[in-house]
Structure 1
Amino acid sequence: MSKPESTSVKRISLLALGLAVVGGIAFVWTINFGIEITNTLEFCTSCHTMQTNFEEYKESRHYKNNSGVQATCADCHVPKPLGPKLVTKFVAAKDVYHEVMGTIDTPEKFEARRWYLANLVWKRMEASDSRECRSCHDYANMDLSEQSRSARSRHSAAQDKGQTCIECHKGVVHHEPSEPDTNP
């Protein structure tokens, strides 16, 4: 092989490598941008069926409180670590699908499936040991002496038993749905 051909192959290889790096960076940036946009309160509440959830959320301490710290939908429903975050985003695409297909596109249809949907979220939260809750609330950081006697007793017992937050705190932000009547 002559020198000009060898130089040409090296240049093409470097160009291909450079394009792959730039393409990879663009891909990662695009994915990150998509995640950031879909983690906003505005995006989460843009569907008609989420308006009920949004109204409930606005009544909670996670929306408005004396410290001014606000936890948004993504803070509670989207993990911080990249792997679980990507899985959650992939799984959440089904919600968009059901909105578009008309399965949950009205408040009435959403309410009819609410018990089922809430249980999916609760099971996911239990499986992750309430990971998203613990990004703000952690037993190790709780000043139990500042809590009511009941809360102090319950949190202490829950910590000793290794309980997860969602075991006791269903319905903190969203109204806890009633279990459907299974009798025909």
Structure 2
Amino acid sequence: MSKPEASSVKRFSLLALGLMFVGGIVFVWAIDFGIKTTNTLEFCTSCHTMQTNFEEYKASLHYKNTSGVQATCADCHVPKALGPKLFTKIVAAKDVYHEVMGTIDTPEKFEARRWHLANMVWKRMEANDSRECRTCHAFDSMDLSEQTRSARSRHSAAEDKGQTCIDCHKGVAHHEPTEPDDAS
């Protein structure tokens, strides 16, 4: 290979590497932008079928409380760690699909599927030891002396039994759906 050809190959290789590097940065930025955008309260409640969930959430202590700390949809439904977060986002794409395809595009259709959808979330939370709850609520950070006698007793027993938050707190931010007659 002559010197001009070798120089050309070297320039092409450097250009290709540079483009791949810039492409990688753009790809990571786009993923980050997409995750941040879809983690907003506005995005989560933009589907009209989510309005019932939003009204329930607004009536909960996760929305309005004496401390002024607000937990949004993503705080409870999206993990903080990147791997589980990406997996959750991929799985959540089915909700957008079902909204667009008309499976849950009305409040009535959503309510008809609500028991099933809630159970999927509860099973995931049981499997991951209520990971998202524990971002804010951990047994070892609780001041049991500030809790009611009943709560203090139940939290102590739950910790001793290895229970997870969702075992007792299924209706915290949303009303617990009624089990349909044909559910199994």
Question: Smaller-chain TM-score range?
Answer: over 0.9
- Quote the offset at 1:101 in angstroms: 1.1
**Match of residue 3 from structure 2:** 3
Which segments of 5 or more consecutive residues in structure 2 lack a partner in the other structure?
none
- Quote the offset at 1:3 in angstroms: 2.1
Counterpart CA distance in 2 for 1:6 and 1:162 is 66
> What is the letter of the counterpart of residue 140 of structure 1?
D
Counterpart CA distance in 2 for 1:140 and 1:18 is 49
Task: Determine helix, strand or coil for the equivalent of 2:70.
Answer: coil
- Alpha-carbon deviations, 1:135-172, whole Å to 9, x = none? 11011111111111111111111111111100000001
Which segments of 5 or more consecutive residues in structure 1 lack a partner in the other structure?
none
Listed as ranges, the matches of 1:43-122 within 5 Å are 43-122=43-122
**Match of residue 15 from structure 1:** 15
- Tell me the TM-score normalized by structure 1: 0.97
Task: Determine helix, strand or coil for the equivalent of 1:131.
Answer: coil
- Quote the offset at 1:41 in angstroms: 0.2
Task: Determine helix, strand or coil for the equivalent of 1:49.
Answer: helix
- 4+ residue stretches of structure 1 with deviation over 4 A? none
Counterpart CA distance in 2 for 1:146 and 1:89 is 37
Identical columns (%): 83
- Quote the offset at 1:7 in angstroms: 1.8
Counterpart CA distance in 1 for 2:162 and 2:18 is 50
> What is the letter of the counterpart of residue 124 of structure 1?
R
Alignment length (residue pairs): 183
> What is the letter of the counterpart of residue 28 of structure 2?
V
**Match of residue 124 from structure 1:** 124
- Quote the offset at 1:182 in angstroms: 2.5
- Tell me the TM-score normalized by structure 2: 0.97
**Match of residue 29 from structure 1:** 29
Counterpart CA distance in 1 for 2:13 and 2:162 is 55
Counterpart CA distance in 2 for 1:31 and 1:100 is 22
Listed as ranges, the matches of 1:154-173 within 5 Å are 154-173=154-173
Alpha-carbon RMSD across the aligned residues, in angstroms, is 1.0
- Quote the offset at 1:99 in angstroms: 0.8
> What is the letter of the counterpart of residue 85 of structure 1?
K
